Amino acid sequence: MSGPSGGEHPPLPQHPLHPEFESEDRIENQLRPQRLDDFLGQPQIKENLKVFIQAARERNESLDHVFLSGPPGLGKTTLATIMAHEMGCDFRVTAAPALEKPKDLAGILTSLQEGTVFFIDEIHRLKSSLEEMLYVAMEDYEIDWVIGQGPSARTLRVPLPRFTLVGATTRPGMVAAPLFTRFGIPVRLDFYSRPELEAIIRRSSGILEVSIAEEAVSTLADCCRGTPRVANRLLRRMRDFAQVIGGGTITTGVVTEGMRRMNIDEHGLEEQDRNILRAIIEMYGGGPVGAETLAISVGEELDSLEVFYEPFLIQQGLLQRTARGRVATPRAWNVLGLIHNQPSPNNEDQRSLF
Ligand code: ADP
């Protein structure tokens, strides 16, 4: 990798108001697959959806309601947009926290078209007062709307078009059973394998017109937490490093140096991942430690600890969730370069091993 290239490259536009500033959102949308064939990986999910979509189209019906769960950045929003495209229908999107009152939800439901794919993100945060309305809407394609107040109040039954509700959540356990069971197609997205991430990186680098060496694709794939959004984000950062401190192409050298500068190790662990493991080991003797205490110890929101950091650490075999709290596995000691030779006084699970 060549060193800093001084005046050879123009400075990167950093300010959001700069005309060449590339908003992360805009690029994310540019990279978002529009068709099922461009949705890479997750073959079983893809094949099943293909069948359900084709069957619904052939019967001239709307697609059944779909429940998408999985950690952030794995493609829930992407799949919802793809369903709308493949069905040739409108797409409406909202997030549950934006729906405050029944009239907010009723307003959207009554404006849907036949077949519209209506995407509600973070559906576990839907207010219970709105859930009732959604149950009837999903099942009977109508809503009951109360007009007036007191003894003169009357209920109006408003028919709805046959729409498809796509509910997405990072916390499926927090979705009420009566809501969950009304979705005909449950889909659970899992972390992507290395070859799947390599394919995503190749596709995205083609769209972004960035040159990347084949070995660099694999090195990068190892660093992106099994998550397409992280893969795309790191690819854009590596493009920056290649442009400013490299020769324009993303080589393995650029990736290694870029990751070092961004404090991401060869397992894809970020600074905060390591802080979490170190806190369990050094402050709580390897655990178990309660999630709330752990979150405070590392200065993290409980929600992002549980939804973003932990699923990847668990998948990597570095952390366990037990009934008594979070426990660091022997592999966590290894990854941090520590020696795991002492049974922890706090850790009954480990004590039983010795
Ligand atoms: P979520 O809604 O689960 O948080 P998104 O659907 O927003 O995740 O996905 C984040 C980004 O990752 C998208 O912009 C898209 O470009 C990319 N992406 C996700 N899944 C895939 C996939 N299977 N193939 C290619 N790109 C993907």
Confidence of residue 351 (pLDDT cuts 50, 70, 90): very low
Residue 290, pLDDT score: 97
Q: Which residue has the higher pLDDT, 158 or 25?
A: 158
What pLDDT digit, counting tens, does each position of 19-67 carry? 444 556 777 788 999 999 999 999 999 999 999 999 999 999 999 999 9
State the catalytic residue, choosing from 116, 121, 227, 251.
121
What percentage of the chain reaches a pLDDT higher than 70?
Answer: 89
State the catalytic residue, choosing from 92, 182, 229, 326.
229
Statement: residue 108 has pLDDT above 80? yes
Whether the CB of 78 sits within 6 Å of ligand 1: yes
Judged by average pLDDT, the poorest of 118-132, 258-272, 331-345 is 331-345
What pLDDT digit, counting tens, does each position of 205-226 carry? 999 999 999 999 999 999 999 9
Instruction: Give the rounded distance of the alpha carbon of 65 from its chain centre.
Output: 20
Statement: residue 348 has pLDDT above 70? no
Taking each helix axis as running N to C, give the angle between helix 252-261 and helix 228-244, from 0 to 180 degrees, rounded to the nearest 10. 100
pTM of the predicted protein model = 0.88
If one residue of 44, 229, 235, 307 were mutated to test the ligand 1 pocket, choosing by the most ligand atoms within 8 A of its CB, it would be 229
Pairs from 22-29 (Cβ < 8 Å, separation ≥ 24): 24/233, 24/236, 27/208, 27/232, 27/236, 28/229, 28/232
Residue 343, pLDDT score: 54
Q: Which residue has the higher pLDDT, 8 or 108?
A: 108
Please state, rounded to an integer, the average pLDDT across all residues of the chain: 89
Instruction: Please state, as a whole number, how many other Cβ atoms lie within 10 Å of the Cβ of residue 85.
Output: 15
If one residue of 22, 30, 31, 32 were mutated to test the ligand 1 pocket, choosing by the most ligand atoms within 8 A of its CB, it would be 32
Confidence of residue 309 (pLDDT cuts 50, 70, 90): very high
Residue 16, pLDDT score: 46
Active site includes 169? no
Q: Are 47 and 81 in contact (CB under 8 A)?
A: no
Q: Of the candidates 253, 272, 252, which has an alpha carbon nearest to the alpha carbon of residue 263?
A: 272
State the average pLDDT over residues 88-108. 95
Whether the CB of 200 sits within 6 Å of ligand 1: yes
Whether the CB of 344 sits within 6 Å of ligand 1: no
Q: Whose CA is nearest to atom 7 of ligand 1?
A: 77
Q: How far away, in angstroms, is 36 Cα from ligand 1 center?
A: 12
Residues linked to residue 67 through DSSP beta bridges, in sequence order: 167, 186
Active site includes 239? no
Confidence of residue 350 (pLDDT cuts 50, 70, 90): very low
How far apart CA 314 and CA 316 sit, in angstroms, is 5
Which CA distances in Å does 7 have to 11, 88, 247? 9, 49, 13
Q: Whose CA is nearest to atom 4 of ligand 1?
A: 73
The ligand 1 atom at the shortest distance from the C-alpha of residue 31 is 16
What pLDDT digit, counting tens, does each position of 163-192 carry? 999 999 999 999 999 999 999 999 999 999
